[in-house]
Every structure is written in structure tokens, then in C-alpha cells.
């Protein structure tokens, strides 16, 4: 049985970590399968949005410690932990979180563009409780996403926070009742209604501009955005608006 399963529906690729008996702890095989699925997401024009979730009511409990003791590392060269954290896909990726997103599971989650969580979900980087550190992105990325002192508290105490608190500090986009995947699919379908090239470039600018100097921002953006305004989709979007119909996107 595979550690990861995938399915696609209406242009959405759903990637499921499928190790419920181990709380979806990340293995080398799972990381490689996720990397392969993300490559497919970016290369297949029929796919526009990805969702990553976990089977059995848990998102991901982090690194598989039994594998760690055997010398296994759930890292893919060039892509990092879980085949994701160092090289996210170019297309939007949503984390659908039920249960626990802990340690590497939280780091996997924050590497995604958007997060939908069940109201009962729990979040944390408890590595310090095991004499480890959240070195798969948590220590570096959390301060970019939430207030510095809250990130520091999570890292130094290893304590968990609930979904409502995660929403309040901006770690989660939406909190839902019921399965997070259902709400994530709704969000993905909303994104899918928009021009795929415009969506991809918008993500690119938001991500890359965090590292741009203030004085170079406009020039750097001007190197990326024109292809959107000169695209067939831009003309189609304007025509569809004028003709009061849904646009027929081509992604070019």
C-alpha cells in the first residue's frame, strides 16, 4: 500500500498522506511521492490547484521517528522535508488540516499557500520536547507568517495551539466544521474560476517580493507581470465581462 495517494477532480489534484496507523508520520517514501505529485501538478495544464491532506483524521504528526532511528530521512534533495518545504509548486497549494499538524507536519502545512482547518485541529512545533529543533522550515518560516514573539513561544515551549488561535494569528485562512477537505475543495474551486496564468503569476509575485529590496520592487514586478496583461486570457476575461458570460480560460 502506498504511503501517499492522489486523485484529481475538476482541475484539482488531491494529495493524501495515507498512513493513518502512524498518524501520517512522514517517511522517505511519502516525501518522494509528494514531490512526484507536485511535479505533476505543475506540469499538467489540466490541473490548476493542489490540496494536501491526511487520511484518518490527522494531517501529519511530523517525521516518522522509527524511520529516524533507522537512519532514514524524509527529505527529497532540492525539495526538502516531505518533498515540499524548500520548493513549493508554482501553482496554488492548499493544506486541508484535520486533527494534528505537528512538527514536520506544521512545517509541511506552512509551506502551502493557504490553510483550511477543522475546528478541532491542533498545531505546534514540539521538537524541543524531544531534544530536536524545527529545522524543516518552522524556525525560519513561522516568524514570516505570525508575530515574532508568538513564533518564539511556539518554538521554545513546544506547546500546541487550537484552530481558533491559529486563525486569530493568521496561520490559518478558514476554520470549518466537518472534514477540512470539503472546505478546501470549495476554496480550490473558487480559485479555479479565475485565470490560471493570472493566479500563478500573482502567487509568484507575492512569494518572491518578500525578498526584494523596496527600491527594486516595481522593476522586479515589471519583469514578471506583463505576460499576464498580454495573454489570451486577459483578452478573454475582458470579453467575457462585456458579454456577461463565464470566461473560457486557456492558461496562456
Would you mind telling me the total number of residues written for the chain in this entry? Answer: 252
Widest CA span in the chain: 62
Reading the block at residue 62, the C-alpha cell is 511530523
Taking Cα atoms as reference points, which of 175, 206, 194 lies closest to residue 241? 194
Cross-strand partners of 60: 101
Q: Which three cell numbers stand for residue 30?
A: 511519502
Q: Name the strand (E) or helix (H) holding 9.
A: strand 4-9
Given the residues 9, 36, 127, 236, select the one marked as catalytic: 127
Q: Per DSSP, which regions of 72-183 are E strands? A: 75-76, 80-81, 93-97, 100-102, 114-118, 122-124, 161-162, 174-176
Q: Residue 33: how many CB atoms within 10 A of its CB?
A: 22
Query: Can you tell me whether residue 166 is helix, strand or coil?
Result: helix
Distance CA 49, CA 38 (A): 10
Q: Say how far apart CA 252 and CA 234 lie, in whole Å.
A: 9
Distance CA 107, CA 101 (A): 8
Active site residue 177: no
Q: Is 36 a catalytic residue?
A: no
Out of 9, 77, 107, 193, pick the active-site residue.
Answer: 107
What phi and psi values does residue 13 have, to the nearest 5 degrees? Answer: -100, 115
The CA dihedral of 3, 18, 32, 84, to the nearest 10 degrees, is: -170
Active-site residues: which are they?
107, 127
Amino acid at each position: 500500500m502506498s504511503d501517499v495517494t492522489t486523485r484529481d477532480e475538476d482541475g484539482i489534484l488531491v494529495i493524501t498522506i495515507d498512513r493513518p496507523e502512524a498518524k501520517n508520520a512522514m517517511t522517505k517514501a511519502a516525501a518522494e511521492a509528494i514531490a512526484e505529485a507536485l511535479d505533476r501538478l505543475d506540469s499538467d495544464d489540466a490541473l490548476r490547484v493542489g490540496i494536501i491532506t491526511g487520511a484518518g483524521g490527522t494531517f501529519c504528526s511530523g517525521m516518522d521517528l522509527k524511520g529516524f532511528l533507522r537512519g532514514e530521512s524524509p527529505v527529497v534533495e532540492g525539495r526538502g522535508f516531505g518533498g515540499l518545504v524548500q520548493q513549493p509548486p508554482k501553482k496554488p497549494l492548499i493544506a486541508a488540516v484535520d486533527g494534528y499538524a505537528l512538527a514536520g507536519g506544521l512545517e509541511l502545512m506552512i509551506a502551502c499557500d493557504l490553510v483550511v482547518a477543522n475546528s478541532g485541529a491542533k498545531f505546534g512545533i514540539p521538537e524541543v520536547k524531544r531534544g530536536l529543533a524545527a529545522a524543516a522550515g518552522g524556525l525560519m518560516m513561522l516568524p514570516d507568517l505570525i508575530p515574532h514573539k508568538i513564533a518564539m513561544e511556539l518554538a521554545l515551549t513546544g506547546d500546541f495551539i487550537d484552530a481558533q488561535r491559529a486563525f486569530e494569528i493568521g496561520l490559518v485562512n478558514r476554520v470549518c466544521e466537518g472534514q477540512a477537505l470539503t472546505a478546501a475543495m470549495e476554496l480550490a474551486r473558487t480559485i479555479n474560476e479565475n485565470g490560471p496564468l493570472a493566479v500563478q503569476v500573482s502567487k509568484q509575485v507575492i512569494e518572491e517580493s518578500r525578498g526584494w529590496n523596496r527600491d527594486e520592487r516595481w522593476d522586479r514586478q515589471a519583469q514578471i507581470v506583463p505576460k499576464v496583461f498580454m495573454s489570451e486570457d486577459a483578452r478573454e476575461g475582458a470579453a467575457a465581462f462585456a458579454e456577461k458570460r463565464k470566461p473560457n480560460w486557456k492558461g496562456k
